[in-house]
Structures are given as C-alpha cells and as structure tokens.
A and B are shown apart, each in its own frame.
Chain A
Amino acid sequence: MDKSMVKAIILIGGPQKGTRFRPLSLDTPKPLFPVAGLPMIQHHIEACTRINNLKEIIILGYYPTNDLAQFVSEMNQKYKILIRYLQEFTPLGTAGGMYHFRDQVRSGNPSGFFVIHGDVCSDFPLSQMLEFHEKRPGALITVLGTEATKQQSVYYGCLVCAKETSEITHYVEKPSTFVSTLINCGVYFCSIDIFQIMADVFKKKEEAFYNGENGYGSENGCSGSMQLEKEVLQPLSGTGKSFVYQITDWWSQLKSAGSAIYANRHYLQVYRNKHPERLAKSKENQVNIIGDVYIHPSATVHPSAILGPNVSISAFATVGPGVRIRESIVLQEAVIADHSLILYSIVGRGTKVGEWTRVEGTPCDPNPNKPFAKMDNLPLFNSSGKLNPSITVLGCSVTVPSEVILLNSIVLPYKDLTRSFKNEIIL
C-alpha cells in the first residue's frame, strides 16, 4: 500500500463571506470564532494532525494575511507540523485557489490531499476516508457524505451513488427538485492527479473565454475562478473516479451565530472520548458543572456558579457568584455578574452583563423527531417581517445593565444597553 505523504487544504473564504455570522464576525474572522474553546478551524487542524503521514496543512482564503498570522504561528508551535496560510488575490471559488497554488500543494510529492471547508463541523473521520480512498485505485476524489431529510437535501450538494461500490453516479449542487438524500459534507480527499482534471477544466474555460462563448468579463471567464462542486465533481460523476464515504454521526455547518451553539455542543461531546482533559469537572463536595463544559484555564468562575450542559468559557472571562449558564458561549474577557442567567446565548468579547440579568435565546436545533434532520438556517426575519426567535448574541464590548432581560435579541458591538429588549436587533 502506498504510504507516501498527504496534505490538507482548509478553505476559509474571506471577509465578504460569513455575513450571516454577524455580529460575531465583525471583530473576529469567522474561521477563528471559538467553538468548544478552540477557533473553529483548529478542530480541522486537530483532525488533520491525527493522520501520521499528513505533512502540511494549507489554510486557503482571501482574508488579509495579518488576520491569521498570529493564529498560524500558534498552530505551528502547538502541533509541530507545517501550517501555512495562502492568500488568494481575489476570490477564486472552491477549486480556483488550490489550482492557482497547485505547485505549492504538489511540492514534496504528496499522493493526495484533503480539502475541508472551514465552516463545516464534524468529527472528521479523515483516516477512514484516506483508507477508503486508497482501496479504490482509480479514485481521483472521495467525498464525505451524510444523509439529510428529503426537504432539506435540496439546500446542499446532492449525491447519488452505487450501493455496492460507493461510486458517485450523479452529482448536482442545490437542485430545485429532489434528487437524493445523500448530501455533500464539504470534506474531500483528492488524489494529486485531480490537478490534471482541473487543468483541463481551466483550459476549456480559457478557450471558451477567448472564443467569446461566455461573454466578455463574465464570472466564469479567465479570472481563474473554478468551482470544485460544479466544475470538477459533477463532470467526474459516473466516470468511476469519484466515490462517497458516508458517515452517520454528527455533521453540521456553521453559517449563522445560532449554529455555533449547536456545534459547540457537539465538539464538547467529541472531547469526552478524544480529549476528556479539556472538560471541566465539579470540585469535590459540590456540583457546579453539569454535562460537558469547557473552561479556559485563565477564566475565573466563582465556585457558586453553575455551568452546563454545553457551555464554553473563553480566556480571561469572569463568571460571578450564583451565575447560571447553560447552552452558551462566553468569549474572552466577558464578565457575568452575580445571580445572572445565560441561556442559549453568545456573550461577546469584553461584554459585561450586570447582576440578576437574564440573557436568553431560542435554540434552533435540528428537529429531533426527524431522523437526519439538519439545522434550518432560517433567515433573520420571517415572512411577516418579524425577527425569527434565535440565539441571543451580544457583540463585543456590550454593556448589559443589572436586572434586565434580553430575549432573542442581537446586540451589535460597543452598545451600552439601558433597559430590557425582546426580539430586537440593537444596532
């Protein structure tokens, strides 16, 4: 069996993306938003480092290099593996960037590479995928797939595969009618020869452009942009070169702020097996931790506070006496004063919540009664123009006074609130 080295590419997009993640993405690049105590894409990096012969991780996007420099250097130190950030000069689509940097990907002669979208959350069974891929000699690409409901499948890339061989026989991105309940999870393993396919696609596009077939300056012109799903995966389906590796456990996307609470819960659950040392435990003779809770070592949590289940407390945050926090994320340097209650909420960096205050959101979890249901990424407003109830999000450096209630509200950074708010966006 070929045991040559492999690489991984994490696609993080750029600041123009992730607007649904506002106001949290206003001050932190979305890929660095902490979930279960770690920046979102650090979970991807950790999954990659579990593969022995994975020698390099390339983070690919169009955020300014400075936004990621510190993170990348921390990751290099922590994981003793080569991790680089490569910046696309302009958004190049899901395949255009890696094709542009193909020489960097190819260097060192890897047999292939993973491609992982930065905003998907999963336990990432990468070694199983790799093994699966290597058992299929003709395979150019293996796609991680999962089951969705019939209704929700059309919001994703839909895969049809042959039962016995797992070969992809048909692929369509976000179809308008039902095609298949098997959906694309945004995680791939590609053999290095995939660049040959991309080169062919690129050449065809170039020719078409200079023949004027696509019209001058159209987005599919010679800008270097290329979509992995439509322009690579779709043509490869039915050729015997693309396969699907199906998982049945948790997978979700991190699109809205609300989905961060859902992802937080699952990553904490993953810690139970993989990193039990990261989960907080109740001190002797008292129960102040319920279920899965992450508390950064530098955070201060009063012994009389009760946290959990599914709570993450970031660095230098302060949780006062008699505070109760459930299903929430509290970011760096936030302060929660005595007797307050935080439910289904995200408390931004440096935000201060007064005493006896209630900060509460509404969970937007997938329907637990429907097998394979995914989270509905509802729009902010419903058809009658009212705010859809969702997670309460406090942007950074917000001040919430004592004794008020914030219910299903979104507060933009640096606001000093003076009263209660319900179902409102506070600009």
Chain B
Amino acid sequence: MCGTDNKTSRVKALILVGGYGTRLRPLTLSRPKPLVEFANKPMLLHQMEALVAAGVTEVVLAVSYRAEQMEQELNTEAIKLGINLIFSHETEPLGTAGPLALAKSILGSTPEPFFVLNSDIICEFPFRDLLAFHKNHGKEGTIVVTKVEEPSKYGVVLCDEDGKIDSFIEKPQEFVSNKINAGMYILNPDVLKRIPLKPTSIEKEVFPFMANEGQLYAMELEGFWMDVGQPRDFLTGMCLYLSSLRHRQPNLLGSGDSIVGNVLIDPTAKIGEGCRIGPNVTIGPNVILEDGVCIKRSTILEGAIIKSHSWLSGCIVGWRCIVGKWVRMENITVLGEDVIVKDELYINGGQVLPHKSIASSVPEPQIIM
C-alpha cells in the first residue's frame, strides 16, 4: 500500500477503553488504565503511536467514565502526534460493539474502513498489513488472530487457508484451533448497520453473523501478543515487549555491568553501585535504585525509590513508592502509588493500595487496604 498515504490518512480508529480498569488495581486507583505506563509509556500511547505510524489521523476513545486527568493528558499527547482525538462517552456500558454505534457519525463519515482495538493488548501492532490484507479480500471485516498455547480458555476462530472465517467456538473442550481473537479489527462502515445502539457484544452478536455471510476474514498476527489488563499478564507482556525491542530497537535497552538481559531504563533514573538489574525490568523516570539492589521481571514506575540490598522479582512498584533496605518482594506484588515499605520486610504477592505504609511482613498473598 505504499504511496497511498493520502488515502490511508482518512482511516480512523476506535479504541475500546471501557471502564475503571479494576483488574489492574491498585494501580488504576491512582491513574486511569490508559495512562498506566507499560514499558515507560502510557498503555494507550503504544496503540496511538502505532495507529499514527499506519497513517491514522483520527482516533475515537470509547470510555464509560469521565476522567479529566486522562482527557487532558491524552489531548496533549494527541497534539504531539498530530492527530484528532475524540472522546466518546457511554452513559451506560455498551459492551464491545455498542460504542461503534455511538460513534457512528464519525466512523461512518467516509467509506474508508476503520480500525477497532481493545485498549489492553500489547503486540507489534500490524496496522498497515491489516489494512492491506483487508483491502485485498474486499469483504466487510478482518479480525487479527493470534496463536495461543491453551486455546480452551478462549473463544477460538476456525478459518480456511485464505483466512475466511468459518465459525467461532467458545472455550472448546477438544482442540479445534489454536487461533484466538486478538482484539484488533478493521471494519468497513457497512458493519455499523449491523450494530444497534445498545449493549452489544461484537464477538457474539456481530462477528458470527458476518462469518456466516462470508464477510469476515482473519489475519494471523506475527510476533508476540498479550492482554496486559491484569498484573500477572502485565509483567508477562512486558517480558515479551522487551524481547521484541531487543530485535527491533536494541539501542533502547540498557547495557552495562549491572544489567542482565532485556532491561529498559529511563535516562533520568539513577542506579547505584553493585546492583543487578534484569532480566526483564523496566525502570521509570526519576527512579532511584540505591547500591546493591537486585531486580528481576519487574516494573518500577516513575519516582519510586528502592533502597540498598533489596531484592524484587515479579513486582510492579507504583509511582513514588519507597521500598526500604533489605526488603524482599516477589510473586506478583503490586504497590499502589506512594506506598512505603519499611526496611527488612518480606512481601509475598501483596496488593497494596495507594498511600499505605507497610510496617510488617506479608508472608502470604493478600490485599492490603
């Protein structure tokens, strides 16, 4: 599709942001989920940047709540990216298809197809390829599918060699396919006719009918894919993302004596002597790691301080947290914003709400209100 920039520039996108992001609490108690930094960049920005790179100039965010902070911050980013950002507010939750009906006037204003994506997914967003694939088969819609190891947990997609979808099977008992809906689509405006303005599931109430009519194709995703809507998957997604960076832009990853494997470090972070960072660690802006800190498979968000000799594995440390000396935290421990963990404590799978001060160990996984 090279040389058709004028044409693609008219392509729009709708991102399903949805509700409060409760699955990513306690982080989302302080910051709307789209603004939570994944690999040092707000989650939504990963998607917006990829859309911009594919020539999208207008993005609709379907949100079911108002958040001034989010709208301001995202508008600033939109200006930087040179795109038009439109917030489409649901007054009642409209499911995965309803928001398209709500934004019908925007999405249906041109005959060009539009992208739809869930805001929780992280991958090497193949929007250009998707547009090309879609134009090539000429039908109403294309969904991106990805292969997973355990398809029985998901709805799987059955399709022919060309990608034409035959049917969907919810949580199959026996193996029929390992391809699942990756939560990214490109649809022609015609599809909007199929969607009423009421709570509707695109997966259950729209796609099966399109497939029956031979109007829906599947394009297989290259590379990694992860729904990062909850802490465990957030960390798994970060590992996959960093190893993808290793192949695409290795210069962005940290290197040096204290770095092991794939580590992303903001240039404003300070790292003490004798640390061992990595593999699979993201260190945010203005983070301070004191001497002799060991961190693996974790995300440390902006402004956090990790004091000397502490050991962290499988943790998300929230903004401006202070983790004391000789602390051990592991097993999907998530610290909300501005949490203080006193020296020498052990936190095993603790989910700590914002602004708490932790003064005794948490030996078994639990939520600390």
Chain A residues in the interface with B (C-beta under 8 A): 321-322, 324, 326, 338-339, 341, 343, 355-356, 358, 360, 403, 405, 407, 422
Report Cα–Cα, A343/B292, bound state, in Å: 19
Nearest CB in chain B to that of A423: its residue? B363
Report Cα–Cα, A229/B318, bound state, in Å: 63
Cβ B309 vs Cβ A358 within 8 A: no
List of B residues within 8 angstroms of A403 by Cβ:
294, 311, 313
List of A residues within 8 angstroms of B114 by Cβ:
none
Report Cα–Cα, A38/B37, bound state, in Å: 55
Report Cα–Cα, A356/B344, bound state, in Å: 12
Nearest CB in chain B to that of A389: its residue? B363
Report Cα–Cα, A269/B103, bound state, in Å: 75
Cβ B292 vs Cβ A321 within 8 A: yes
Report Cα–Cα, A403/B294, bound state, in Å: 9
Flag whether B328 is at the interface (Cβ < 8 A): yes
List of B residues within 8 angstroms of A355 by Cβ:
294
Q: State how many angstroms separate the Cβ of B314 from the closest Cβ of chain A.
A: 12
Flag whether B57 is at the interface (Cβ < 8 A): no
List of A residues within 8 angstroms of B344 by Cβ:
324, 326, 341, 343
Q: State how many angstroms separate the Cβ of A395 from the closest Cβ of chain B.
A: 23
Chain B residues in the interface with A (C-beta under 8 A): 274, 276, 291-292, 294, 308-309, 311, 313, 325-326, 328, 330, 344, 346, 363
Nearest CB in chain B to that of A357: its residue? B311
Report Cα–Cα, A343/B325, bound state, in Å: 14
List of B residues within 8 angstroms of A326 by Cβ:
344
Report Cα–Cα, A324/B294, bound state, in Å: 15
- The residue among B274, B291, B292, B311 with the most chain A CB atoms within 10 A of its own CB is B311
Nearest CB in chain A to that of B343: its residue? A324
Please judge, given known A-B contacts A326-B344, A356-B311, A403-B294, whether A341 and B363 are in contact too, CB under 8 Å: no
Cβ A356 vs Cβ B346 within 8 A: no
Nearest CB in chain A to that of B294: its residue? A356
List of B residues within 8 angstroms of A422 by Cβ:
363
Nearest CB in chain A to that of B296: its residue? A403
List of B residues within 8 angstroms of A338 by Cβ:
274, 292
Cβ B346 vs Cβ A322 within 8 A: no
Q: State how many angstroms separate the Cβ of B280 from the closest Cβ of chain A.
A: 15
Cβ B294 vs Cβ A358 within 8 A: no
A321-B274, A422-B363 given; name 14 further pairs at CB < 8 Å.
A322-B274, A322-B291, A324-B344, A338-B274, A339-B292, A339-B309, A339-B311, A341-B309, A358-B326, A358-B328, A403-B311, A403-B313, A405-B330, A405-B346
Cβ A407 vs Cβ B309 within 8 A: no
CB within 8 A of B308: which of A322, A343, A407?
Answer: A322
List of B residues within 8 angstroms of A341 by Cβ:
309, 326, 328, 344
List of B residues within 8 angstroms of A360 by Cβ:
346
- The residue among A321, A322, A326 with the most chain B CB atoms within 10 A of its own CB is A322
List of A residues within 8 angstroms of B346 by Cβ:
358, 360, 405, 407
Q: State how many angstroms separate the Cβ of A421 from the closest Cβ of chain B.
A: 13
What are 24 A-B residue pairs whose CB atoms fall within 8 Å in the complex?
A: A321-B274, A322-B274, A322-B292, A322-B308, A322-B309, A324-B325, A324-B326, A338-B274, A338-B292, A339-B311, A339-B326, A341-B328, A356-B294, A356-B309, A356-B311, A358-B326, A358-B328, A358-B346, A403-B313, A405-B330, A405-B346, A407-B346, A407-B363, A422-B363
Report Cα–Cα, A422/B364, bound state, in Å: 11
Q: State how many angstroms separate the Cβ of B277 from the closest Cβ of chain A.
A: 12
Report Cα–Cα, A322/B325, bound state, in Å: 10
List of A residues within 8 angstroms of B363 by Cβ:
407, 422
Report Cα–Cα, A403/B328, bound state, in Å: 9
List of A residues within 8 angstroms of B330 by Cβ:
405
